[in-house]
Amino acid sequence: MENKINKNKAQNIIELINSSGAIITEGAISVLSAIDSGNSEILKIILKSGVKNKKADKILAAAKRKNIKTEFFSAGEMLEFEQNIKNTGLYTLGKTHGGIIAVTSKRRFLSPRELMEILPESPKYVSAAIIEGIEDPYNLGYAARALYTQGVGALILPERDFGFSESVIERASTGTFSKMPVAVFSNNKNNETNAKIDLINILKQERFKIYCIDKKIPANSNIKTNGLFGVKFADRTVFIIGGEKRGISKDFLEHADEIVSIPYAKKFPHSLAAQTAATIISYEIHRQRELKLIEP
């Protein structure tokens, strides 16, 4: 009889995911971030029976406060659920969820103009990052974590269907991805307008200075170039990072205000991983702002 109950509980969640196009968020940190951010609808929270800690208590309190449905699974039911999810071929639960899982709607990302409406105009220092070429969701999550911890105010990405990779991004970012405002721009080359140039124009209208983090310079270009150690980042900064394979697209490079290279201590012909570059640049912006704050 217990096996039948286990199967029904697990199957009900699978049906909820399939019928609503939902995704899974796992682990206390990610689930709490999803609840607090309000960027996704929390359809149900699943807790393994016997899980007792401060984070689980916070999740239960938040769920009660926001009228989120909560369901408890026995150890056997949780195993059944894990196996059923794996059998769908869509997602595999990690080993560190700690018996805390949320079924959430896919996140609705902002348009660039919507992002401009929520970014503050009055604080002196505002920054955002455009990351163009990260394909691996873990690497994007690591980049989001670095950007968030160094005070970058927003993330802008090429539009795509993140699907269940959104769960991986959230886990790798330790919940910071859902805390950051994220906008997307069209990556469709068949559009009548060039979305990348439109994005640059929107940013410049909002008085942002655009920095491309790259070693290459467009031919016949008069764009200012500098090494990272010689750059003074503007109070309103957007920096663009490309992927290791394709780098930054021509449209971004040709319309940047400045191209910035990251100096190496040794001869090395290859680019840094995008998440590494994101960490270095966001740290340097943070460092410069801290120095400005303590200047007499």
Q: What are the φ/ψ torsions at residue 113 (nearest 5 degrees)?
A: -70, -40
Distance CA 212, CA 254 (A): 10
Inter-residue contact 172 to 141 (CB < 8 Å): yes
Domain of 28, CATH number, reads 3.30.1330.30
The pLDDT tens digits of the residues spanning 112-123 come to 999 999 987 766
The pLDDT tens digits of the residues spanning 49-103 come to 888 788 888 999 999 999 999 989 888 888 888 887 788 776 666 666 888 889 9
Q: What is the pLDDT of residue 2?
A: 43
Q: What is the pLDDT of residue 105?
A: 87
Q: What is the pLDDT of residue 3?
A: 45
Q: Are residues 13 and 68 both part of a single domain?
A: yes
Q: What is the pLDDT of residue 294?
A: 63
Q: Which domain holds residue 255?
A: 112-294
Distance CA 112, CA 114 (A): 5
Inter-residue contact 264 to 216 (CB < 8 Å): no
Inter-residue contact 36 to 107 (CB < 8 Å): no
Inter-residue contact 44 to 13 (CB < 8 Å): yes
In angstroms, the Cα distances linking 273 to 193, 263, 276, 277 are 30, 14, 5, 6
Give me the residues of the chain with pLDDT under 70, please.
Answer: 1-7, 90-96, 122-123, 189-192, 218-220, 293-296
Q: Are residues 121 and 198 both part of a single domain?
A: yes
What is the residue whose two structure tokens read 């469709």?
A: 188
* This prediction's pTM: 0.85
* Domain count of the fold of the chain: 2
State the sign of the Cα–Cα–Cα–Cα dihedral 26, 30, 35, 38.
negative
Distance CA 144, CA 275 (A): 8
b (16+ CB within 10 A) / e for 117-155? eebeeeeebbbbbbbbbbebbebbbbbbbbbbebebbbb
Q: Are residues 46 and 164 both part of a single domain?
A: no
Distance CA 8, CA 110 (A): 37
Q: Are residues 97 and 236 both part of a single domain?
A: no
Domain of 251, CATH number, reads 3.40.1280.10
Domain boundary (104, 129, 157) is at 104
Q: What is the pLDDT of residue 6?
A: 44
State the sign of the Cα–Cα–Cα–Cα dihedral 210, 212, 216, 218.
negative
Q: What is the pLDDT of residue 145?
A: 96
Give the CA count within 13 Å in the CB-facing half-sphere of 150.
23
Q: Are residues 70 and 205 both part of a single domain?
A: no
Q: Are residues 222 and 255 both part of a single domain?
A: yes
Q: What is the pLDDT of residue 1?
A: 40
Q: Are residues 185 and 242 both part of a single domain?
A: yes
Inter-residue contact 110 to 140 (CB < 8 Å): no
Q: Are residues 117 and 258 both part of a single domain?
A: yes
Q: Are residues 282 and 149 both part of a single domain?
A: yes
Q: Are residues 285 and 146 both part of a single domain?
A: yes
Domain boundary (76, 104, 132) is at 104
What is the residue whose two structure tokens read 């989001």?
A: 144
Domain boundary (82, 104, 126) is at 104
Q: Are residues 15 and 126 both part of a single domain?
A: no
